[in-house]
Structures are given as C-alpha cells and as structure tokens.
Amino acid sequence: MCQGLPLAASVLGGLLCNKEKHEWQAILDGNHLVAGEDDKGENSIKKILKLSYDYLPSPHLKKCFAYFAMFPKDFEFEKDQLIQLWMAEGFLRPCQETPVMEDVGNKFFQLLLQYSLLQDVKIDELNNITHCKMHDLVHDLAEDILKSKLFDQKSVRGENLSQVRYFGWNSPILEGFKLSRSGIKELSAKIGKLIYLRYLDLSDTQIEALPNSICKLYNLQTFRVNDYSSLRKLPEEMANMISLRHIYCSYHYKFDMQIPLNMGQLTCVQTLEFFKVGSEKGRRIEELGHLKNLRGELTIRGLQSVRTKEEARAAYLQEKPNIYKLTYLWSHDESDVC
C-alpha cells in the first residue's frame, strides 16, 4: 500500500496513531486503498495524502491546511506568523475548552505535524517550534483543495481593498502588493480606509514614519516590522488600536524608539518585543500591569526611570506566567543586562 515510500508510511502512520482499534477498522472498511486494492507510484501516495486530509478532525483545520497553497513550494513557514495569518482569515474559532485563538492555532499546527503533513521542523534553544516546511506532494494536495474553493478566495486575493484582512509588503500571499526591496519610503494615509485589516507586515521597507490614519485600523490583530526596516517611531495613538494582539517591533538604539502613550489600554496584546519605561504618565512601568496576556519574550528598557519599589510592583510581572524570557535593561548599554 505504501510502496516502500517513507512519506506515505509517515502520513498513514500519523493518521492511525492514537486511534482505537474500531477506528482503524472503520478506516479500513471505508477506503479501498487501505484495504489493499492495487494502486502504485505517485497516484498511491496522493490517495494516502488525501485520506489523511479527509480525516482531519475539523473543517477549520482543513481550511488551515489548504491555506498553505498560498505560499510557494519549499517555503519555510514561521509558525507564529502562520498562526496569525490563519487568525486574520477567521479560521481559528475559540471554544470553551480552548478560549484563546492562538492556542487553537497551536493545536491545529500540532495536529498537522502529527498527521505528518508538515516536516523539517526547526526549534529554538527552549525547544519551541519556530519554523517548518511542507513536502512538495503535500503542497500539491493543498493546491488541489484550494482550487476546489474550499474557502472564499476573494478574501485572499483582496479584490475589494476596503475588505482586505491582511497586508504585507514582502508577503508571498498577496503577490500584487509584494514591495520588498522596492525602496518604498512612505505609507499612504489611505491605509486607514482598510478598516477590516487584521494583519499588517511592513518588514524590509524603508518607511521611516507611519501616517496617523493607521491608528484607525481598529480590527488589526498583528503588526510586524523586522530588524531590517527603517521605522523610527511607532504611531503615537497606537493605544486606540484595541484589537492588537501581536506587536513585532525591535528597539533601535540609533533612533531611541519610544513606546506610545497608554499602551496599557491594549489589553489583548500577547507579543510586545520591548517596553521602554519613561517618566511621563502613560509611559511608566505601570502600563505593563494592564497587559495581563503577555507571553513569549519581553525586554524592559529604561528601568532607571522606575523610582520606587511600588512603581516596579505595578508591572505585576509575577502574574504573567506565559513570559518565558524576560530581559531587564538599565541605561542604553547592552552590558547592563541583568
């Protein structure tokens, strides 16, 4: 049945693992391929892959799988970015058992790994999965599923710009807006009209300042700017973007980047790469006290601005158990890490 091919054996094993004997029998009774009917070569592998897809336990998970077809073959996926894109598409539905969308996404990702539909996993020093790839034949299946219009491709293609849900200058998803290394230096104020935008990636651009209109993106969930961008400051009214959950923006010593006022209002935020403490009200360390959902890594800079123990306690860091790496910095000197 598997024709001695590792991919077929791995995918079929992923499908059958953790299942009871009666479930194995149901799969056997319902599928001629498993029952041993003659079928050879690549066609056999495709049928096994399709069988694994058919038994994915959720229609939303099936949509997440088909979404991989929006990327080119041999593309290396960043796990967190992928989950945030699924979230922007509305594929992740919280439930009583798993009330946080990102946790639903992590569960879906683990299931795709279990079913051997993803491979070449990379992990960090804390054994967290960071990246993965998809086998070309599995990608072919995702393309076939996508072509069958399992979900509405209009939201992916962005035919109506006022309803675009995600936008990335260097994203492989929106080919018509792929402006990485284009030398773009300014973001149009019209960005504020994309009121349904949920994902915005300005990485690898030369944009130095953002228009104030960006703060009207009240549905934006993820904002990304990588280390290679030229952004000098975050928008001052960023605290109005109440749906923000992930803010990827590294600190630049050259520009002494400040945190916008009243960031504590963004109570949904989980990812915040740095917080620069200031003495001005709205920039004090107490703003962190309201961000109860923070997780991952956080660097707190400018701790010389914290004047008393009472101020420090107002950050309530002990109540943020999902932060697994915390860095404290006094002054601008990296050697002052404690």
- Domain locations along the chain: 6-147, 154-336
pLDDT at position 226: 81
What string of H, E and C letters represents the secondary structure of the chain? CCCCCHHHHHHHHHHHCCCCHHHHHHHHHHCCCCCCCCCCHHHHHHHHHHHHHHCCCCHHHHHHHHHHHHCCCCCCEEHHHHHHHHHHHCCCCCCCCCCCHHHHHHHHHHHHHHCCCCEEEEECCCCCEEEEECCHHHHHHHHHHHHCCCCCCHHHHCCCHHHCCEEECCCCCCHHHCCCCCCCCCCCHHHHHCCCCCEEECCCCCCCCCCHHHHHCCCCCEEEECCCCCCCCCCCCHHHCCCCCEEEECCCCCCCCCCCCCHHHCCCCCEECEEECCCCCCCCHHHHHHCCCCCEEEEEECHHHCCCHHHHHCCCHHHCCCEEEEEECCCCCHHHCC
The tens-digit pLDDT sequence of the chain (338 residues) is 444 456 766 777 677 676 666 665 666 666 655 545 555 556 778 888 998 999 999 999 999 999 999 999 999 999 999 999 999 999 999 999 999 999 999 999 999 999 999 999 999 998 999 999 999 999 999 999 998 864 554 444 444 556 666 665 444 443 333 345 556 789 899 889 888 899 998 888 889 999 999 999 999 999 998 877 888 889 999 999 999 999 999 887 667 788 999 999 999 999 999 999 999 999 999 999 999 999 999 999 999 999 999 999 999 999 999 999 999 999 755 444 44
Per-residue pLDDT reduced to its tens digit, 33-59: 554 555 555 677 888 899 899 999 999
pLDDT at position 163: 62
| Single pTM value for the model | 0.85
**What is the CATH number that goes with domain 154-336?**
3.80.10.10
2.40.30, 1.20.1060, 3.30.160, 1.10.10: CATH of 6-147: 1.10.10
